[in-house]
Amino acid sequence: MKREQQKKLRELKNTLPKIIQSEIKKYKLKKKDFMVWVQKKELFFDLMIYICERDGRCYCASTERLKPMWLDDLLWDILEMPENKSEPVSLRAIGAFTVYGSEIYESETELLNWELEELRQCVVQYMEHFYQNTQLCEIGTFYEYMCKTLYHQELRRGLTYIHDGEYEKAIEYLSICDKGNLCNKGIWVNDAMRDYCKNRINIR
């Protein structure tokens, strides 16, 4: 990457948060760190907009995610972290012990001239698309895209089975999974989900 491109890339990355902060006001969205988010009743939406350089080209990209509020609530119950439910809602967008929602939209746009106006136009388009999805998407969208992304797929599927009372199905599914990638007080999440299911079956 040429020195001039490096300078422009730094400027784009430094300016991006300011553009995002300006645009979210139009849609009454919220921002925490690098994530834009909004809660619509029992659904939680978040949006990440970022800039990357690849093979000497500059891109602005976005990822939209959706999850029901009960997804994190159930995770926190199973990992014995119920106090997280009383934390600010923004925790569901940036917290380490949260579930990565279903990816419902991804896009990438090349910034041909590495200019701020290109970036602003790109952010405007991404924000408008995200806002429209927050108005149109329902819980069925979460289920439709639940297995699109491998990251946290085990969590999304396992917790959904548990939420729906399908404990035997959850145990069967988790039997082919490892311990998972979240651990609290020495308890790995997939082990905790299996134990939770067995306890629920025993008290039926």
The CB density around residue 12, as the number of other CB atoms within 10 Å, is 20
Q: Is 68 exposed, middle or buried (0-12, 13-18, 19+ CB in 10 A)?
A: buried
Whether pLDDT at 1 is above 90: no
What pLDDT is stored for residue 97 in this prediction? Answer: 95
**CA trace torsion 168, 171, 175, 177 (10° rounding):** 130
**Averaged pLDDT score across all residues of the chain:** 95
- What residue type is 5 in one-letter code? Q
pLDDT for 100: 97
Residue 203 pLDDT greater than 80, yes or no: no
Q: Judge contact between 50 and 11, C-beta under 8 A.
A: no
Q: Let me know the angle formed at the C-alpha of 58 by 32 and 28, rounded to the nearest 5 degrees.
A: 30
Question: What value does the mean pLDDT take over residues 116-135?
Answer: 97
What is the mean predicted confidence (pLDDT) over 96-124?
Answer: 97
What's the token pair of residue 143?
A: 């289920």
Indicate whether 84 pLDDT > 80: yes
Read off the pTM. 0.94
**Residue 150: pLDDT over 70:** yes
| Percent of the chain clearing pLDDT 70 (strictly above) | 99
pLDDT digits (tens, 9 = 90+) for 32-82: 988 999 999 999 999 999 999 999 999 999 999 999 999 999 999 999 999
Confidence of residue 3 (pLDDT cuts 50, 70, 90): confident
C-beta atoms surrounding 171 within 10 Å: 19
One-letter identity of residue 28: K
| C-alpha to C-alpha distance for 90 and 12, rounded to whole angstroms | 25
| pLDDT at position 202 over 90 | no
Nearest-angstrom CA–CA distance, 199 and 192: 11
Token pair belonging to 11 = 């400027």
